[in-house]
Amino acid sequence: MHPVTRADFDQYMVPNYAPAQWLPVRGQGSRLWDQHGRDYLDLAAGIAVTSLGHCHPAMVKALTEQAQQLWHVSNTLTNEPALRLARKLVDATFAERVFFCNSGAEANEAAFKLARKVASDRDPARDEIIAASNSFHGRTLFTVSVGGQPKYSEGFGPRPQAISHVPYNDIAALRAAVSARTCAIVVEPVQGEGGVLPASREYLQAARELADAHGALLIFDEVQTGVGRTGALYAYQQYGVTPDILTSAKGLGGGFPIGAMLTTSEIAQHFSVGTHGTTYGGNPLACAVAEAVIDTVNTAEVQANVTARAAQLRAGLEALNAELGLFAEVRGMGLLLGAVLNDHYAGRAGEVVAKAAEAGVIVLQAGPNVVRFAPSLVIGEGEVSEALGRLGSALQAFAG
Ligand SMILES: *Cc1c(COP(=O)(O)O)cnc(C)c1O
């Protein structure tokens, strides 16, 4: 068999992605290497996934040790890594109960089903889920329907019903929408895919108060913001607003697939035996890796690095912008940053991403106008400077 190349993607894969022309084969820390040995500095971390960089020794150790012990049992049995991880998540958050699954979409699917189940048990007239326009919650039919980007939910036949959307960060619109029919309000504390747009503290506080006043649940989708990315273990802790249900994935496994839904005992009891499940949820390999991630991330040292590297990256982007005048603003929280292209360059974030890759630095876009940065939480000062240097050349070439 001939060695695989990027051309094989077009020949063999379902064409729902358009990957870059270069093909990574190895990663270490915040660096990736392609098939020809060229290196790339990684300011994307997958999409906010490889929270400890590539092949972090604590994760390699956890994975390989667990690989010698036990890979899988069904949910007719439980296992030690899942129980240890659940205990750590409960100890570190508002939650009293944890449900494990394999992705962000599945964590949200569980959250939305649980909210509907709670409503159906307490008050069957209540079924409405209120979400934000431009939000992103995953790609299952329920999660694209709750997500506020119609382009992702159209063309797949009838959608789940009783879902409405209100503009993000608009307290009056949320107040007008919530009623005795509302079973849950769903919010991303920072809209990630929607353009790295942080919620205001007042908005999250209002969402909490409105949910309480109308007997609805408050769900925070922290799939992208969670596990240290914003400068706390979860962003809700920085906002000082506690949800009833929180979903986590992406950074939780640091590159190994896992998702989690966190909630209180009171709410969790509505998922009684047999009401919901998934074959791989609580997989020992995934949970062992996630435990190593939590142990490493939930430390003062890593949180201090997030704050310091975020300041460095922001300052570097502001300095490049002072020179080149590309961005209207740099926004975000911790190491989830978005540089918003100004009107002159509107719609061209994809070109910036491509130019950056040519210069050997990986960045992301978040919609057509925002260049997104979500590096490893343990990226070094030297790596950030080097990446900013490469990005500077890329932006210069882009501004032409
Ligand atoms: C990525 C993302 C999801 C979906 O996660 P998957 O693991 O791709 O299913 C859901 N919500 C938010 C906020 C995300 O950023």
DSSP string, 255-298: TS--EEEEE-HHHHTTS-TTSS--TTTT-HHHHHHHHHHHHHHS
Using the mean position of ligand 1's atoms as its centre, give its distance from the Cα of residue 156 in Å.
19
Structural domain for 294, as ranges = 58-298
Q: Do the strands 336-341 and 361-362 form a parallel or antiparallel pair, or are they unpaired?
A: unpaired
Query: Would residue 127 count as lying in a domain?
Result: yes
- How much is the pLDDT for 18? 95
Query: Would residue 221 count as lying in a domain?
Result: yes
**Same domain assignment for residues 155 and 236:** yes
Please tell me the total count of domains within the chain: 2
- How much is the pLDDT for 129? 98
Residue in 245, 250, 372 to alter for ligand 1 test, most ligand atoms within 8 A of Cβ: 250
Please identify, among 273, 298, 323, the residue that sits at the C-terminal boundary of a domain. 298
Using the mean position of ligand 1's atoms as its centre, give its distance from the Cα of residue 259 in Å.
10
Q: What is the CA radius of gyration of the chain?
A: 21
Measured at the alpha carbon of residue 135, what is the angle toward residues 247 and 180, in degrees to the nearest 5? 75
Binding residues: 104-105, 136, 139, 221-224, 278-279
Query: Would residue 1 count as lying in a domain?
Result: no
- How much is the pLDDT for 73? 96
**Same domain assignment for residues 233 and 371:** no
Using the mean position of ligand 1's atoms as its centre, give its distance from the Cα of residue 389 in Å.
30
Closest atom of ligand 1 to 139 CA is 9
Closest atom of ligand 1 to 47 CA is 1
Query: In the chain, which stretches have pLDDT less than 50?
Result: none
Closest atom of ligand 1 to 191 CA is 13
- How much is the pLDDT for 318? 98
Q: Which of 278, 218, 225 is nearest to 251 (CA)?
A: 225
**Same domain assignment for residues 172 and 108:** yes
Residues with a CB atom less than 6 Å from ligand 1 = 103-105, 108, 136-138, 188, 192-193, 221, 223-224, 249-250
Residue nearest to atom 15 of ligand 1 (CA): 224
DSSP for 180-196 reads TTEEEEEE-SEETTTTS
Using the mean position of ligand 1's atoms as its centre, give its distance from the Cα of residue 1 in Å.
36
Using the mean position of ligand 1's atoms as its centre, give its distance from the Cα of residue 69 in Å.
30
**Same domain assignment for residues 336 and 288:** no
**Same domain assignment for residues 198 and 79:** yes
- How much is the pLDDT for 1? 75
Closest atom of ligand 1 to 108 CA is 10
Contact 28, 54 (CB under 8 A): yes
- How much is the pLDDT for 400? 82
Binding residues for pyridoxal 5'-phosphate: 104-105, 136, 221-224, 279
Measured at the alpha carbon of residue 308, what is the angle toward residues 304 and 310, in degrees to the nearest 5? 115
Using the mean position of ligand 1's atoms as its centre, give its distance from the Cα of residue 136 in Å.
7
| CATH number for 234 | 3.40.640.10
**Same domain assignment for residues 11 and 112:** no
